[in-house]
Amino acid sequence: MPHTQCKQCGRWLTSEESGQPCPRCGSLDWNVFAQDCALADDKATVARKMARMHFRADAGLQKVIRLTGVGEAESRPVEPIKLLEVNTNSIPSDILPVSFGPAPASGIPYSSIIVEVTPAEFARIQAQELKLPRGWQLGEELPRPAETGEDR
């Protein structure tokens, strides 16, 4: 997702505001930073790679869902890749984000945050009884690699 900035007042626009007059000054003159699209695509690819690695390493892993931040946060290099992992082998602990630094040797050039929950906790998240950290929301479910099989 590209970043869009109003040329007149400098306000950063959300994706919903892009293409419309700036809410602050009414200008239709923007700067669009397309290189952010490539970064967001790369981070999405790395997130899928991390999911594949985690599925292969943990038989109790049922789902891996990408967590996203508000606006264009995910296209910023400093924003970590955030994954919610639903694991039958996990111990209930509500929402406990665990941060990791980049691991370039493993093909993970970005920092990451993993939130591991039980299936029951995931149901509570879906019912909005258990809240994600402020500004985070459930994103796409990342696919399970075919070679791990659904029965593992």
Give 81-125 pLDDT, tens digit per residue: 999 999 999 999 999 999 999 998 988 999 999 999 999 999 999
What is the Cα Rg of the chain in Å? 18
Task: Give pTM, 2 decimals.
Answer: 0.72
Give 13-56 pLDDT, tens digit per residue: 777 777 778 888 888 877 766 555 667 778 889 999 999 999 99
Phi-psi region of 10 (alpha: psi -120 to 50; beta: other; left: phi over 0): left
First to last CA, the chain: 35
How many whole angstroms separate alpha carbon 143 and alpha carbon 64?
A: 8
Tokens 């397309």 belong to residue: 34
Residue 135 corresponds to which tokens in the numbers above? 């500004």
Q: What is the mean pLDDT of residues 129-137?
A: 93
Residue 34 corresponds to which tokens in the numbers above? 């397309």
For residue 1, count CB atoms less than 10 angstroms from its CB and return exposed for 0-12, middle for 13-18, buried for 19 or more.
middle
How many whole angstroms separate alpha carbon 51 and alpha carbon 56?
A: 9
Give me the phi and psi of 71, to 5 degrees please: 55, -135
Do residues 122 and 92 lie in contact, with contact meaning Cβ atoms separated by under 8 Å? no
- Average pLDDT in the chain: 86
The helix, strand and coil proportions of the chain, stated in percent and rounded to the nearest 5, come to 25, 30, 45
Which domains, and CATH codes, for the chain? 1-33 (no CATH), 42-144 (3.30.460)
